[in-house]
């Protein structure tokens, strides 16, 4: 099939970007979206142009590197997938596809479709861990975690940190990401001792990094490649209240 792509091109973080139109021919429905961009990039290089920069790596939806706004949707049409898992069979001949980077003040554009998501690392550094040290651990089976709890914690832990929650949110809020980590560790016995400090400190760093606040539109849940539920945001809110009202 033949497609028209309108791709955001921006040379440097400080330069002004714009949408540029490219035609791509011979797109196979079995191609992944990123493979389609690979083909375009080869053509661009051959034409002596600079290829489109975008982050990607594992191409199986787990590393969280890729992410672009495709026709106004984070990771494009479909549910529960990252951009790399989107296949061209979701489009039809003659379609125009608008491709933009994640847009948020906290995710400045580095080049073209590549953005800086290190703000998420900073939030993690503020408490997205159990303060263990290597060595001297008790046997894993001395800590009993019933299956339903382990399963729910896993659902939250499945977050791949791609930033689609921020990109799709009308407020560029990071709440689902923070909630996923806070919720995972609040559910597990290992996370109990630092429960209060964790939620307070991660939320404070989230605010510092100029993400917006949650208005419960639930766009994040709809676009999350791992379909992480907003019930984890409710738990985050509970954890916050708990931290504030208990001594």
Partner 1 sequence: MVLESNIPEGPIEKKWTNHKFTSKLVNPSNRRKYTVAVVGTGLAGASAAASLAELGYNVLAFSYHESPRRAHSIAAQGGINAGKNYANDGDSVYRLFYDTLKGGDYRAREGNVYRLAEVSGSIIDQCVAQGVPFARDYAGYLDNRSFGGAQVSRTFYARGQTGQQLLLGAYSALARQMETGGVKFFARREMLDVVLVDGKARGIVARNMLNGKVESYAADAVILATGGYANAFFLSTNAKASNATAIWRAHKKGALFANPCFTQIHPTCIPVSGEHQSKLTLMSESLRNDGRIWVPKIKDDKRLPQDIPENERDYYLERQYPSFGNLVPRDVASRRAKEMCDKGFGVGPSKMAVYLDFAEAIKRVGKEIVKERYGNLFDMYKQITAEDPYLQPMRIYPAVHYTMGGLWVDYNLMSTIPGLFVGGEANFSDHGANRLGASALMQGLADGYFILPYTVGNYLAGTKFETVKTDHAAFKDAENDVDATIMKLMNVNGTKTVDEFHREYGKVMWEFVGMGRNKAGLEKALTLLPKIREAFWKDVKLTGEANDINTELEKAQRVADFLELGELMARDALHREESCGGHFREEHQTDEGEAMRNDEKFAYVAAWEFKGIGTEPAMHKEHLVFDYVKPSQRSYK
Partner 2 sequence: MKKVISFYHSSVGKKILMSLAGLFLCSFLVIHLSGNLALFKNDNGESFNHYSEFMAHNPVIRSTEILLVAGFLLHMFLGGTLWLKNRAARPEKYSAYKLSDNTPFESRNTMLSGSIVLFFLIVHLKQFFLPSRFFGETNMYALVLQAFASPLYDLLYLAALVMLAYHLKHAFQSAFQTLGLRKGKYIVLFDAVAVVFWLLIPIGFASMPIYFFLSTLK
- Which range of residues in 116-124, 164-172, 216-224, 233-241 is near partner 1 by CB under 8 A? 116-124
Choose, by CB under 8 A, the member of 110, 124, 171, 190 that binds partner 2.
Answer: 171
| 239 is an interface residue for partner 2 by CB under 8 A | yes
103 binds, among partner 2, partner 1, none (CB under 5 to 8 A by kind): partner 2
Q: How far is the CB of 63 from partner 2 (least distance, A)?
A: 24
Give the CA angle between residues 98, 33, 4 to the nearest 5°.
40
CA dihedral 126, 129, 134, 139 (to 10 degrees): 160
Q: Give, as ranges, the residues between 131 and 150 that touch partner 2 (CB under 8 A).
A: none
Instruction: Provide CB contacts within 8 A for 82, sequence distance 6+.
Output: 61, 64, 66, 67, 75, 160, 162, 164, 225
Residue 37 or residue 202: which is nearer to partner 2 going by CB?
202
Q: Give, as ranges, the residues between 32 and 61 that touch partner 1 (CB under 8 A).
A: 32, 34-36, 38-39, 41-42, 44-46, 48-51, 53, 55-61
Residue 158 or residue 217: which is nearer to partner 1 going by CB?
158
Choose, by CB under 8 A, the member of 9, 75, 111, 232 that binds partner 1.
Answer: 111
């Amino acid at each position: 099939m033949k497609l028209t792509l309108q791709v955001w091109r921006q040379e440097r973080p400080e330069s002004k970007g714009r949408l540029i139109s490219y035609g791509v021919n011979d797109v196979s429905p079995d191609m992944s979206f990123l493979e389609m961009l690979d083909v375009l990039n080869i053509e661009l290089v051959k034409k002596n142009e600079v290829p489109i920069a975008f982050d990607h790596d594992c191409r199986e939806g787990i590393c969280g590197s890729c992410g672009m706004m495709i026709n106004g949707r984070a990771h494009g049409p479909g549910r529960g997938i990252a951009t790399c898992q989107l296949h061209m069979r979701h489009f039809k001949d003659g379609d125009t596809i608008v491709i933009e980077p994640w847009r948020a003040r906290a995710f400045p554009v580095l080049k073209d479709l590549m953005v800086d998501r290190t703000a998420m690392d900073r939030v993690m550094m503020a408490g997205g861990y159990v303060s263990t040290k290597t060595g001297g651990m008790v046997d894993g089976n001395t800590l009993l975690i019933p299956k339903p709890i382990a399963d729910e914690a896993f659902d939250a832990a499945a977050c791949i940190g791609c930033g689609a929650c921020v990109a799709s949110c009308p407020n560029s809020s990071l709440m689902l990401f923070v909630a996923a980590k806070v919720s995972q560790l609040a559910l597990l016995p290992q996370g109990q001792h630092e429960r209060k400090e964790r939620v307070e400190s991660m939320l404070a760093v989230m605010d510092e990094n100029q993400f917006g606040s949650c208005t419960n539109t639930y766009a994040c849940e709809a676009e999350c490649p791992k379909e992480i539920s907003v019930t984890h945001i409710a738990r985050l809110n509970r954890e916050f209240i708990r931290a504030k009202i208990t001594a």
